[in-house]
Every structure is written in C-alpha cells, then in structure tokens.
Amino acid sequence: MGFCLIAICYGFARFAFGLFLPQIDGDLNLGPSLSGIISGGSFAGYCIAIVASAALTERFGARAVTVGAAVVAGVGMAGIARAPSPLILAAAVVVAGSSTGLASPPMAAAVAAAVRKSRQDLTNTVINSGTSAGVALSGPIALAIAGQWRLAFGAFAAVAVVLAIAAAVSLPASRGGEGAGGLPPMSGPVMRLISASFLMGAASTALWSFGGQLVSQHLGWGPTGTGILWTCIGAGGIAGAWAGTLVTRLGLDRVHRAFLGLMAASIVALGSGIASPALALVSGALFGAAYVMLTGVYLVWGIHALPARPATGLMVGFLTIAVGQTAGAPVFGLLMAGPGAEPAALCFAALALLAAGFRARSVVTAAPA
C-alpha cells in the first residue's frame, strides 16, 4: 500500500510534470523561466504540506493523512489535465506536488507501528523506492499516448482516487511515536542532515524539472525519447529499495558520498551535451538510482536522529530536499535561459558534490544529542 501511494504521489503527481514539460510548454507557451517558477512552486507546496503532514500524523494518525494525500494528488492532477492557462496550470501543479509532502510522514509512522525494529530501515526504503516505480511507469504511459499530457494526467487522477479508497481500508491509524508536537531539537545530526539534503535537492532539479528540455535541446528528442529517458530514470531508481541494506553494510556516509558522485556525473552528462543517446539513457538510470538511494539515506538519517518521532524525523530530511528544489528549479531555469544549459549543469553538479562534505557519523547506531 505504501509503495503504491509513493509511486502515485511522487512518480505521477510530482515528477511527471518534468516528463511532459516539453509538450506542456508547446501548448501553453511557458518558456524556461516560467517553467522553472512553476516547478519551484510545486516544490514549495510540498514544503508546506510535509510540515503539516508530520503534525497531522502525530495528532490524527497515518490512515487519515494517507487518504488525504491520495485525494489531494487526484485533485491536483485533474487540475493539470484541465488547465486552460499557465496560471491555472501553476496552481494545479502546486496542489499535485503538495500530495507528496502529505504522503511520506504517515508511511514512517505506519512502519514504526506495524514492522519489527530490525526491518524498519529496509521497509521504509522499499516504500520510498515507489518513487522510481511511478517514474518508470510514467515513461511508457507517455509513449503509449503519444505525448497527450492532458489524457495522462486525467488517468493519473483516476488512479489516485482508487488508491484513496484502498488506503482508507488497509492502513493502520498509528500516530507514530510519543513526545509528539513542536519543533525537533536542532542537534548535530539534524543540522548536518538539513545542509546535505538542501544541496542534494537543489542539484536534483537539473534533471527532474529540466531533463526533458535538456535532451530535447542537445539530442533533438521529442516525446518518445523523453519517455524512454523517464523510464530509465525510474528503472534505475529501483536500486533505492536497497538503501537500508547498503547503509547497514557499508555505513551511511560511504553510501551518501558514492551516490552524490553518481548524481553529479549524470547531471554533467545530460546537461553539458556530451552524452550520446545511449550514454544519455545510462546517465538517466544512474540519476534515478542516485536520487532514490539518497532520499533513502536521508530517510534513515532523519528517523534515527529522532527515533521517538519517526514522522517528524522523515519530515526534516524530505522537507529540506524540497526547500532545495524550490530554490533550485527557478535558478536553473534562469541560468538555462541566460548563460545556457552547460554552465547551469556544471553549477548544479557542483552542488551535489558539495553535499558530500556533510557527514551523518554514528547517527544510525546512536543519535547524539
């Protein structure tokens, strides 16, 4: 259930906008700067929603908030499908993006209540990898309907409604921990998590928001090529299901640094125009693997830093990723419209590498005060 919810909210309601952006731009004449602002608005809606979701989960429980997330996703995607103008589109994209913020904290609370402790990291990261399944599915859907983005978002909205009904029937009502309420303590692990996740989130917008336009510009790809790229991104992201296992075996910091390096390399390859078609698809798969693995890393980091409040622990890392994306998308759009795609890609790859300087240290075994 949790895996499906994340697939719908992240893969369809949030990240499919970047997949269909070239067609949406062609129909509504957005331009790169406005596209970046709209993408940033989606991430801003996520920021507000994830803070609200953590508080609502601790007060009302996982089931109620999960149902609300699916409903909001359906409303937002229906709005995208019907949008007659850039203004209405922007509002609908913000609503759809907000559903992802609502979805994640109740999943952490439900896992804390229903799964034995030794398997919680693995379960949380498997649920989190639902993002990649949604992205991978959105690519073939785009291919099958030949770039008809309104039809695609209408179908996605219908699936979200079905999922809301399923969540109401199947999820526990757990509130996910004692000591709920108020801001989390700003300990060393929490502050380092905030710094790293902000930089990674900003860097990721290079491909989440502009990947379709980059391959269209450098390789001349239309909807078919972009759809294949999105499928590769999603397929690569399935590796994120093993984030919990890799962290246990290799340590959080090693996994963190390795996948930030992969993210930076994929941004350079796709954004600088040096990639051949085959290398572009490989780079997309590496980006998907890196992004979902890193969100799994930050999920584990946050939950272990605040073990009594799993919904809030998850919220801290995921909120800061979205704050970085809110800031990053408009900046990348402006750089792409000004200096060009290549300088923008190099700058955003550098942000990913900079995030590697922040270490979790021993947070997974014992969160220091």
**What is the token pair recorded at 214?**
């980059």
Asked whether the beta carbons of 139 and 234 are under 8 A apart, the reply is yes
- Residue 369's pLDDT is what? 36
- Give the mean pLDDT per block of 10 residues along the chain (369 residues): 84 80 83 76 80 86 90 94 90 89 85 80 83 79 79 91 88 57 72 96 91 85 82 85 84 93 95 86 93 91 84 86 87 90 94 93 50
Cα–Cα distance, 158 to 156 (Å, whole number): 5
- Residue 172's pLDDT is what? 66
- Residue 206's pLDDT is what? 93
Residues near 314 by beta carbon (within 8 Å), at least 6 away in sequence: 54, 104, 105, 107, 108, 124, 299, 302, 303
- Residue 367's pLDDT is what? 40
Q: Cα angle at 110 between 105 and 111, to 5 degrees?
A: 100
- Residue 162's pLDDT is what? 92
- Residue 182's pLDDT is what? 59
Cα–Cα distance, 148 to 26 (Å, whole number): 12
pTM over 0.75: yes
- Inter-helix orientation angle 16-28/149-170, to 10°: 150
Cα–Cα distance, 200 to 170 (Å, whole number): 34
Kindly report the backbone phi and psi dihedral angles of residue 83, in degrees, each rounded to the nearest multiple of 5, phi listed first. -60, 125
- Residue 368's pLDDT is what? 40
